[in-house]
Structure 1
Amino acid sequence: MSETIFNESLTDEERYEHFIERIAAGEKIEADDWMPDDYRETLIKLISMHGISEIMGALPEKEWVPKAPSLRRKLGIMAKVQDEMGHGQLLLRVAEDLMKPLGRTREDIMQDLFSGRLKFHNVFHMEAPTWGDAGLIGWLVDGAAIISQTNMLDASYGPYARALKRICAEEVFHAQHGESIIIALAEGTSEQRIMVQDAINRWWEALLMFFGPADATTTGTSKQDTTIKYRIRTKTNEELRQDFFTKYIPRVLSLGLTIPDETMHFNQEKKQWIYKQPDWSRFKEIIRNNGPKSRERLELRKTTYHENQWVRNALNIAK
């Protein structure tokens, strides 16, 4: 008996119990399976934000394509921008399937972005004024993304889990690309080392905020309980942040660079990193599109979207 037919014979309460049993057993939920409303909405918000963030995240690096210091570096960062755009399109397609039963489309996603209802990741509201920033985005920002996304490789929603397998594989290359830029600069002239250190100082707070608040009481925006409940992911925001510290702090220090936090240290007794909390009120402002480059990047995305409307119209006619 198919899942759809089976579910039609159940009450809503029985459907919910069956759904919980399926994800507890490690089964994958597919787009045409029955799912609770809050599961669907959580996935739509998460995957739409992820997809849009991949696209918006390409913009600060796009700025460096014509300014990269060599042809090799230009080709590398151009390929990375192309990958990020592809990730965004893949994820938005996954989100569209979830939205169809609600009568919503990708157009609704874009309008939600332009109106401010749909957020994009806090790190992509930030400035990237130097080549050191471009390298740091690839190394530490993409490194943080890998930690976050690999935590969802076994997500209960099958289409998202499968998309993440491809995305994470490509993100590993992006992180290696960024690391190679940072190592070259760190081993270069004193001016280049200062450039890298300035980039770390500039991005450190945004990196702390990358994984979100430890709990909802900090900003009132955390959705981690729902995503863990439905086995979309397994670790909390703070656990992911600690994983990031464990992986990257030794690497930063090994290059003779410093972390802009004098309080930071590893507590052997608690088995965790102690660090200065970022300004979470600033985090709230940034994700409300009041970051350093929020409006400029949103305006670019909006202009590009409207200027290319003729392409979407042509594709619709071709159907």
Structure 2
Amino acid sequence: MISQERTDGELMADFMAKIEYDRKIEADDWMPDDYRNALIKLISMHGISEIMGALPEKEWVPKAPTLRRKLGIMAKVQDEMGHGQLLLRVAEDLMKPYGKTREGIMRDLFSGDLKFHNVFHMEAPTWGDAGLIGWLVDGAAIITQTNMLNASYGPYARALKRICAEEVFHAQHGEAIIMALAEGTPNQRAMVQDAVDRWWDSLLMFFGPGDVKTTGSSKQDITIKYKIRTKTNEQLRQDFFTKYVPRILSLGLTLPDPSMAFDEATGEWTYRQPDWQEFKQIIKNNGPKSKERLRLRELSYENNAWVREALS
């Protein structure tokens, strides 16, 4: 019997049935272009953000106040780089039909075509910043990533299980630094408060602009439609508030937003919106440390080209 090629409509119906019944899509499975492209963009940005996110803390490896703290932050930097390598391998498999490799991802980063998280464009001038990155930035990342632990794309979901397990230790590492400073001298407490004040807007921006109804964007619709994630940017931001605002206040710290409050009627936090025009400029590599960190990453990539050549 001669088999007929399946139509795109039949392939799409089977694909959506897998999504509906929570069966994982694998790298060699048929998938629609908008699903593949959404995954490539998301996972490439996530992988690059892990790599670029190691740089602010790498600056503190030689300056950490004790040997124990130095070893802790060195281990964290090593983990973040490993997360990046793992995720770029996942992205590379998705890009095979387009003939693109990890080399292409790095070139996209250096050209500005590939963005990385806004928080990693920011300065980290004090040890309080190093602690806050581990506590609140990694805390925000855990909220985002655990929302995708059951992502419909199997390789990404499996990678996230390992990454999230390690990120929990990173958040605990940062919290330990913040707790020690918050219980320390007046100058140390002031250092933490200063870090919270400077990082607050960046933390709000971490989750991206609000819902589709307010932004007109369809990107969130695509990731939710295909069960890559289940919550919107705003829902994730609200989860962050619920978990961390009480913790911040319990340390005697204040938030640089007098309007911050929990609305019992709606069950949501009210807050002052960050400057989303500034956010757009930051992710276009016009942040305080964007160009410096990109150049550092590019030099490292060029200087280690011989290793990649030897391995290939």
1:102 Cα offset (Å)? 1.2
1:162 corresponds to 2:158: yes
Report Cα offsets for 1:22-81 as digits up to 9, x if no partner. 111000000000000010010000000000000000000000000000000000000000
Which secondary structure state, in structure 2, belongs to the residue aligned with residue 286 of structure 1? helix
Q: Which residue of 2 aligns with 1:259?
A: 255
Which secondary structure state, in structure 1, belongs to the residue aligned with residue 197 of structure 2? helix
Q: Which residue of 2 aligns with 1:124?
A: 120
Which secondary structure state, in structure 2, belongs to the residue aligned with residue 120 of structure 1? coil
What is the identity, as a one-letter code, of the residue corresponding to 1:291? G
- Contact 1:26-1:156 at 8 Å conserved across structures: yes
What is the identity, as a one-letter code, of the residue corresponding to 2:283? I
1:89 corresponds to 2:85: yes
Q: Which residue of 2 aligns with 1:269?
A: 265
Report Cα offsets for 1:161-202 as digits up to 9, x if no partner. 000000000000000000000000000000000000000000
CA distance in 1: counterparts of 2:24 and 2:136, whole angstroms: 31
* Compared CA separation, residues 80 and 120, structure 1 to 2 (3 A): same
What is the identity, as a one-letter code, of the residue corresponding to 1:159? P
Q: Which residue of 1 aligns with 2:101?
A: 105
* Compared CA separation, residues 274 and 291, structure 1 to 2 (3 A): same
Which secondary structure state, in structure 1, belongs to the residue aligned with residue 269 of structure 2? strand
Q: Which residue of 2 aligns with 1:175?
A: 171
- Structure 2, unmatched stretches of 5+, are none
Q: Which residue of 2 aligns with 1:184?
A: 180
Q: Residue 23 of structure 1 is aligned with which of 12, 19, 22?
A: 19
1:216 Cα offset (Å)? 4.8
1:145 corresponds to 2:141: yes
1:9 Cα offset (Å)? 3.5
Report Cα offsets for 1:106-163 as digits up to 9, x if no partner. 1110111001000000000000000000000000000000000000000000000000
1:101 Cα offset (Å)? 1.3
Q: Which residue of 2 aligns with 1:202?
A: 198
- Contact 2:212-2:221 at 8 Å conserved across structures: no
What is the identity, as a one-letter code, of the residue corresponding to 1:121? H
CA distance in 2: counterparts of 1:219 and 1:97, whole angstroms: 32
Q: Which residue of 1 aligns with 2:288?
A: 292
1:213 corresponds to 2:205: no
**Matched residue count:** 310
1:301 corresponds to 2:297: yes
Q: Which residue of 2 aligns with 1:78?
A: 74
Which secondary structure state, in structure 1, belongs to the residue aligned with residue 281 of structure 2? helix
1:225 Cα offset (Å)? 1.1
- Structure 1, unmatched stretches of 5+, are 1-5
CA distance in 2: counterparts of 1:238 and 1:216, whole angstroms: 10
Normalised to the residue count of structure 1, the TM-score between the two structures is: 0.95
CA distance in 2: counterparts of 1:9 and 1:168, whole angstroms: 41
- Contact 2:224-2:230 at 8 Å conserved across structures: yes
1:14 corresponds to 2:10: yes
Q: Which residue of 1 aligns with 2:238?
A: 242
CA distance in 2: counterparts of 1:308 and 1:217, whole angstroms: 46
Report Cα offsets for 1:257-316 as digits up to 9, x if no partner. 011100000000010000000000000000000000000000000010011111111111
* Compared CA separation, residues 192 and 149, structure 1 to 2 (3 A): same
What is the identity, as a one-letter code, of the residue corresponding to 1:204? W
Which secondary structure state, in structure 1, belongs to the residue aligned with residue 177 of structure 2? helix
Normalised to the residue count of structure 2, the TM-score between the two structures is: 0.97
What is the identity, as a one-letter code, of the residue corresponding to 2:80? E
- Contact 1:219-1:281 at 8 Å conserved across structures: no
What is the identity, as a one-letter code, of the residue corresponding to 1:139? W
- Contact 1:218-1:280 at 8 Å conserved across structures: no
CA distance in 2: counterparts of 1:170 and 1:111, whole angstroms: 28
What is the identity, as a one-letter code, of the residue corresponding to 1:130? T
CA RMSD of aligned residues (A): 1.3
CA distance in 2: counterparts of 1:162 and 1:217, whole angstroms: 32
CA distance in 2: counterparts of 1:207 and 1:217, whole angstroms: 22
